[in-house]
Every structure is written in C-alpha cells, then in structure tokens.
C-alpha cells in the first residue's frame, strides 16, 4: 500500500474526487496500491469534512500551531503517509514538512503558474484577477510544493479559453472541469513512478 494524505481547507470537491478515484474507482484495484488514508483539514466547519467522512475516510482537524510544531507531520506519519496532496489547502507548508516529504507534496493551483500565484491568490480571487486582466486563457497547474506559495516543479498544466463575456464564475466552472479530469491521474502517474 502507498498511503497518501489529502490536505484541504474548504469545499473539498478535489479531495472527494481523489478519494473516489483511489479508494473506490477502477483505479482502486489490486494493481494500484495508492489509497487515501486520511484527510487533514485546518477548518472545523469546512464541507470537506462531511464529504470525506461519507466516503469513510478519517478526518483530522488541526490548527496553525499543530502545523508548525510538527504535530501534523507526526499525524501524517501515524497514517503511514508517503505523500501529501494539497487540494485547496490554504496554509503555507512549513519547511520541516517539505523536508519530511522530499518531492512528495503535490499542490494544485487554479491558474497557469507562474501567473496568478502567491499569497492571497486562491479560489475566486484567482479567477477575478484573470478576468480583470482580460486574459484570453487560464488553466490549472499541478506542481510539487516547496517553501513558497504556489511554487515548485511543475508536473502538469491544462488550459481553457477565457471569453470576453466570461465572469469569474464562468472561469471557475471551466477550471473545475479541468481539475476533476486531471488531478487524480496526474497524482497517480507521478507517485507510481516516485514510490511504486
Ligand atoms: C481549487 O480550485 C484549487 O485549485 C484551489 O482551491 C480550490 C479548492 O476547491 N487552490 C488554490 O487556490 C491554492 N492556491 P475544492 O475545495 O472544491 O477542492
């Protein structure tokens, strides 16, 4: 088994999609050892908690000091985690955790990095900035996490068109489709090579 832990802060549509893919879908066969062992969440009212529990995945709730003190790393180790997936996780990962999981922390960002990344650039803020700038395209970036927000080796990007009439909500809907289509498979391909 290759256990992974998914970190999420909000709605959790990506976390749910990843759980369904690895724990329930055709990929959850004997040939694929990757399983979501737990979801870690930093907000006690986040919808991702209910989504995960419904899919019988344990949830751990933690705060900033747990993250920075190393308690979160201990919790991840207690689930046998070999990789961490940041799926809409809005806190900065401390250097100690990055060092504990070399090349094995994967983040998704809802824009074509290096554009529209960095502190404060998450969720709808990203799509609002893309529309305000009159961009003709946007997309998703799946990358390894390092000590900076939305930074690190890019594993995958996919693009979508942004029309002059698109609102930030329209862009969010296009991005959501790209995330659902690609994130689990990119995790699967990358971790199978790294840990398989
Ligand atoms: C996703 O669009 C993800 O790309 C984004 O947050 C959303 C979470 O949605 N992440 C960032 O903006 C990170 N900087 P979800 O909770 O429904 O998966």
Model pLDDT for residues 20-45, shown as the tens digit of each residue: 999 998 878 778 899 999 999 999 99
Instruction: Please give the distance, rounded to the nearest whole angstrom, from the Cα atom of residue 142 to the centre of ligand 1.
Output: 11
Contact of 67 with 91, CB cutoff 8 Å: yes
Please give the distance, rounded to the nearest whole angstrom, from the Cα atom of residue 110 to the centre of ligand 1: 7
Q: How far is the CA of 32 from the centre of ligand 1 (A)?
A: 26
Give the pLDDT mean for 54-76.
Answer: 97
Report the nearest atom of ligand 1 relative to the CA of 172. 2
pLDDT band of 50, cuts 50, 70, 90: very high
Residue 86 predicted with pLDDT over 90: yes
Q: Which residues contact 64 (CB under 8 A, 6 or more apart)?
A: 42, 91
For the chain, give the longest Cα–Cα distance: 49
Ligand 1 binding pocket, CB closer than 6 Å: 8, 10-15, 87-88, 108-110, 122-123, 126, 150, 175, 179
**1-5, 27-31, 91-95, 132-136: least confidently modelled range:** 27-31
**Cα 174 to Cα 113: distance, rounded to the nearest angstrom:** 17
Q: Give the residue whose CA is nearest to atom 9 of ligand 1.
A: 88
Contact predicate 45/9, CB 8 Å: no
What whole-number distance in Å separates Cα of residue 14 and Cα of residue 157? 16
pLDDT at residue 148 greater than cutoff 90: no
* Ligand 1 atom closest to residue 15's alpha carbon, by position in its atom list: 18
Please tell me the distance between residue 123's alpha carbon and the centre of ligand 1 in angstroms: 5
Active site residues: 109
């Amino acid at each position: 088994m290759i256990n992974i832990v998914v970190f999420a802060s909000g709605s959790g549509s990506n976390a749910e999609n990843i759980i369904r893919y690895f724990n329930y879908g055709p990929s959850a066969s004997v040939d694929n050892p990757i399983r979501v062992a737990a979801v870690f969440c930093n907000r006690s009212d986040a919808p991702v908690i209910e989504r995960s529990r419904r899919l019988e995945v344990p949830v751990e709730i933690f705060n900033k000091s747990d993250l920075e003190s190393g308690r979160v790393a201990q919790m991840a180790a207690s689930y046998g985690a070999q990789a961490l997936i940041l799926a809409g996780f809005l806190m900065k990962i401390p250097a100690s955790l990055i060092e504990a999981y070399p090349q094995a922390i994967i983040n998704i960002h809802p824009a074509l990095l290096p554009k529209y990344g960095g502190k404060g650039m998450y969720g709808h803020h990203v799509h609002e900035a893309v529309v305000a700038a009159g961009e003709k395209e946007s997309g998703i970036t799946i990358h390894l996490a390092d000590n900076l927000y939305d930074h690190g080796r890019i594993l995958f990007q996919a693009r979508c068109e942004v029309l002059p009439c698109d609102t930030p909500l329209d862009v969010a809907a296009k991005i959501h489709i790209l995330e659902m289509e690609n994130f689990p498979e990119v995790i699967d391909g990358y971790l199978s090579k790294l840990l398989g």
